[in-house]
Structure 1
């Protein structure tokens, strides 16, 4: 991350006066997008981008009552208590090292990774990347509290699923995911229609879990190049959600890596089932450098496109860059 200007902290402080959603359930993507912009060397564009995004920001929901060690399970998955949850994590992070707090809450939150259309988990991944790669300033620690609070408030486990025939690779597993029976409505409704996923992603040890998580992120990113037209905004999450988990792994105890892989696979498969198109398209090629691809995404301005391109640059190969260019083409520009 290249930011000697304090831009990220300024942007986060600005955003922490706003809520995690608008219009009842649409996610505030600004904290994730500005982190990606700064991480990829686009800090000078951040405040201009935020000015354009400002009309989508709302006040946070009012606090209700504190979430405590005795009643946190009761509050899990209650979006009306998002501020209560954020305040809990702010208290936790004030009193303990952030990695310790993350390690305690990660297995509690992981089963609800699909909640909020995977956005809370993705926001957590961006926050953790910042803390792993830059000094842990107060706004960056506060961002982790906001991210974890949003995840807890939107926690939504998937329905019971039938294990389907095993797939040999992540790409084959994504190809074999059966689509939901009704291709309409938002993601929460479609999640209720899931029936089963191919068996993939079991790992005998933490290192294998990490390798397979890298494989999953790569396969989902590549797949967007040929299937992103099915739903250009929602299908980016098939890649960005597992990549958020991958970004968090270095901060987590190794015994949590295998269950993290399983949850990441479930999230990627759920998004794929909910929005995959009937037919694939031919992938285009990209003759741009990674830096040029991200500059194009930043100039385009769409928050999902910025975040997906950030993930595509993590993958880094030509097909991933082509997928990023495809996201620029498919999603409506902001600027």
Structure 2
């Protein structure tokens, strides 16, 4: 996978945003909470990071002018999260602001990598929480911090992502390890679809009983990273033929494991195997909850460059389409580009 593709007119050779747009956008967005209208996720920080990374910084503020209209203000804090009693607040969405404040202080007082390494294994069992949006938000924040100088807005964004994850933390139900295929693509094909697709994602996750054990067993860190890249590619490719099941929700079967892949370089290597296992669980769970029974062949209508494709995604304007195209360009083969085209076709543009 070519995660460091050179399609970024507004990002310098070190990966830093040369326009200042990302920091300005993050400061705007941090006035808002991580959710709106009850529990819908604020995709703004993830989308603007993708736009700037993909050379579309001039579009960001106008995009935000439209997107911000739907957002809610940051909720008021209730009770500080304490280092010696954090477990009592884990998974309590009423403590969103408390958790964000906790992590804002943590990344100010300590190196951000140390904070991430401490909390990653604590949060990883709840990777599917919030429809996987918290880990995706963390992945975008970490990508920025790995390629740019840490500063106030960028560290605050990591704190918002980790706080969101902690507040929404909710593990999947106990699952039986089912027989699996040797490769990620066949393993996703083997995921049993939930029989009752009524209700939202929490209801559907609650009906899961087992997933293929593709990521189970001992694996060394380098193999874990390689297999995680394989999973991202397989999920992106599968979108091209299965997205009609739910074009928006099935985006996360690819973007969630890619968020984990983007985070690995910032983590101790000993955490990589568990990260693979969690990423697989998240991708497979989303697949089980939303994939259709049958594939529909989809062939790209014309050859298009990665730069042109991402410009089309930016013009399309939907946050999920932008983020999926960003992930598809990390895979960067012809099937991945076709999958991104499929997203732009199926997801309603803004």
One fold, TM greater than 0.5? yes
* Structure 1 runs (4+) greater than 3 angstroms displaced: none
Q: Superposition pairs for residues 54-133 of structure 1, below 5 Å?
A: 54-133=68-147
Q: Superposition pairs for residues 239-254 of structure 1, below 5 Å?
A: 239-254=254-269
Per-residue CA shift, 1:87-143, capped at 9, x if unaligned?
000111011100000000000000000000000000000000000011111100000
Partner Cα distance (1:136, 1:96) in 2: 12
Which residue in 2 is equivalent to 1:149? Answer: 163
- Matching residue within 303, 314, 325 for 2:341: 325
Partner Cα distance (1:244, 1:169) in 2: 20
Which residue in 2 is equivalent to 1:49? Answer: 63
Partner Cα distance (2:296, 2:303) in 1: 19
Which residue in 1 is equivalent to 2:281? Answer: 266
| Pairing 1:315–2:312 present | no
Partner Cα distance (2:48, 2:270) in 1: 31
- Matching residue within 222, 225, 231 for 1:210: 225
Which residue in 1 is equivalent to 2:5? Answer: none
Which residue in 2 is equivalent to 1:284? Answer: 299
- The normalised TM-score by structure 2 is 0.94
Shift of 1:279: 1.2
Which residue in 1 is equivalent to 2:271? Answer: 256
- The normalised TM-score by structure 1 is 0.98
Shift of 1:274: 0.2
Alignment RMSD:
0.8
Shift of 1:283: 2.1
In 1, are the aligned partners of 2:180 and 2:190 still within 8 Å (CA)? Answer: no
| Pairing 1:170–2:199 present | no
Could you say what secondary structure the match of 2:177 adopts? strand
Q: Structure 1 stretch 108-117 or stretch 65-74: which is displaced more?
A: 65-74
Which residue in 2 is equivalent to 1:183? Answer: 197
Partner Cα distance (2:235, 2:304) in 1: 21
Which residue in 2 is equivalent to 1:161? Answer: 175
In 2, are the aligned partners of 1:33 and 1:307 still within 8 Å (CA)? Answer: yes
Could you say what secondary structure the match of 1:190 adopts? helix
Which residue in 1 is equivalent to 2:251? Answer: 236
Partner Cα distance (2:295, 2:219) in 1: 33
In 2, are the aligned partners of 1:28 and 1:56 still within 8 Å (CA)? Answer: no
Could you say what secondary structure the match of 2:130 adopts? helix
Could you say what secondary structure the match of 1:163 adopts? strand
